[in-house]
A and B are shown apart, each in its own frame.
Chain A
């Protein structure tokens, strides 16, 4: 316990004693809230744009920046979900189910106010749980090796396939497409070149940041332009009547339930906050005495979803820090930041870079507290930001994305790849495939192949020995059950 407070105090001092660190903290906080709230961009856009420049900062400031925009961005995405039915990120999608109908009813202030408070409560609770739970999980993680990591990847993929796409099969095809993208370049075990079509720039595969920029930022611009062509981008009227304390008190059980669901769902690699938000919302519907009101503007729907997705932010750091497996697109970018600074996330990070880990923890803790205060302010000001026409924002986003994509490897090919990924992402979104699933396929595919080969070599190519390791058995069984249940539901109910 003494170590806990010592680490907490040291990290707090490191962040708030240096003017540059304070500036980075505030920039991440405001950047995440603004990018999360502006239609057409999201925290992932900001993170993707900032990623190439993270090498210019110290490892402490770079990681803190990403941790802070993760917290503030997840909250920021709720604003567009509520006001425009445009979730800033997949994890804000359930927020739109009831938030947007509330806006249409003229209750936008209540919905956004609830999102502010619940994001702060859920995120802070998650940060505290993360500080307490990460070390024990890390100790356990030291005993794990490639077979366990592959089993975890299998479980993550099993869950990831059921979120975001119109049907389970399209979810699976999205994940598998992402895995195919990850296969291009140098094969991870023998070092052979694979699927490079004679283009030497592809020997190292596609850059993840370039793909992220294409799949999220560029495809979103294509999507917004299509909406603009159809005239679907009308801003609804907004009033700012916040919910009362009595209204919140009635929802205390929903908040507590969503914190627990969000935290444990967030630990799962591969899906994190998105699954948490959907589970939080689904459980709210399941436990409600008036489930028929959900989807028509029920405050509890907004509260459950926003508490759960913010509760998952801290939990999503656990697989990243303890095993080195990112839980989502933003944690995948944080993985890249670690590598840029020559740090390998995993059990040893607590021994080699303990101060860095605590800076991430403490930054997320204070970011969630700051959301509570800044969120109220943002609610009153964001309306004015939303008046900037999207066609004027699009060139700014494009220029930043072009420079960001080129800056990764000084390769013009990457800029083309970014636009091509944007087009593919746009077409797949129009056909109801899942972009988050593709991105997670890219990340988990690379890790999956490497650990599968290493694992089979460790076990002397014995599949039985691979599967019967205790942790592997549990994870394979859980993954298999998840797949069987989702297949059963998908086959029983028409897609």
Chain B
């Protein structure tokens, strides 16, 4: 969409409320409406018999969620209304949006870090802690700008071994071992740890 069109939309419909506030309000209301929709589903699927009470004033599992989701809609709308009446500075917001673009460029490493972290969380069940973690730490350190070999090796592998010994061997805690081939490799590593420490 062209800047002129954005300006037209801003002047005509958004008044003096920043785009960020509109987006936040939209997200909150969508979240609450989705929650309210799930409440209907909740009542339909309830098998506890708790909902068949003839007493209409009795609480159901959906009563409290409905109250909370309704309150979210009210507070989000009040937040919007207060911004409408008190006014925000859309030009500041536009500058902020421009700097947001700068933020994305400036924080490419941060986005890389977030992506690697979420990927780690997804792959952990499949690949296991023993195999995946050294590479995760290595990726984090490289994204942080560390290029010296000693901190890279010491933290990615040395710290990893130290924590495995501490938590698995000393404290007797189980750590994710992964599935299939990864499980077999993890089991071999565990046996190796036992034989050394």
Give A contacts to B, CB under 8 Å: 53, 56, 167, 169-170, 172-173, 176-177, 179-180, 183, 187, 189-192, 194-195, 218, 222, 225-226, 228-230, 391-392, 394-396, 398-400, 402-403, 406-407, 410, 412-413, 415-420, 422-423, 426, 431, 445, 449, 452-453, 456-457, 461, 490-491, 494-495
Contacts and interface: CB of A to CB of B under 8 A. Distances in A.
10 contacts: A169-B75, A173-B76, A189-B50, A191-B48, A226-B107, A392-B151, A398-B140, A456-B57, A461-B58, A495-B82
A187 B125 contact: no
Main secondary structure of the interface of B (DSSP, over half): helix
B59 A392 contact: no
B150 to A, nearest CB: 11
A399 B137 contact: yes
B121 A192 contact: no
B87 interface: yes
A400 B122 CA distance: 18
B155 A453 contact: no
B110 interface: yes
Interface string B47-69: 11010000101111100110011
A167 B137 contact: no
A395 B140 contact: yes
B78 interface: yes
B110 A222 contact: yes
A406 B176 contact: yes
B79 A394 contact: no
Contact of B175 (A177, A403, A445): A403
Interface stretch (B5-13, B159-167, B180-188, B189-197): B159-167
B30 interface: no
Contacts of A490: 82
Given A173-B76, A183-B65, A420 B121 contact: yes
A412 B125 contact: yes
B7 to A, nearest CB: 24
Nearest to B121: A416
A187 B61 CA distance: 6
A225 B121 contact: no
A403 B163 contact: yes
A167 B79 contact: yes
Contacts of B159: 395-396, 399
B146 to A, nearest CB: 6
B160 A494 contact: no
Main secondary structure of the interface of A (DSSP, over half): helix
A426 B114 CA distance: 10
Given A419-B118, A431-B20, A192 B171 contact: no
A329 B192 CA distance: 40
A403 B121 CA distance: 12
Nearest to A221: B113
A412 B117 contact: no
Contacts of A402: 120, 129, 133
A161 B145 CA distance: 39
B174 A410 contact: yes
Contacts of B118: 416, 419-420, 423
B82 to A, nearest CB: 6
Given A189-B59, A194-B42, A391-B145, A418 B121 contact: yes
A170 B113 contact: no
Contacts of B153: none
Given A169-B79, A402-B129, A403-B173, A394 B144 contact: yes
* Nearest 6 A/B pairs, CB to CB: A416-B121, A391-B144, A190-B50, A169-B79, A412-B125, A494-B86
For B86, B87, B106, B109, the residue with the greatest tally of chain A CB atoms inside 10 Å of its CB is B86
B35 interface: yes
A32 to B, nearest CB: 20
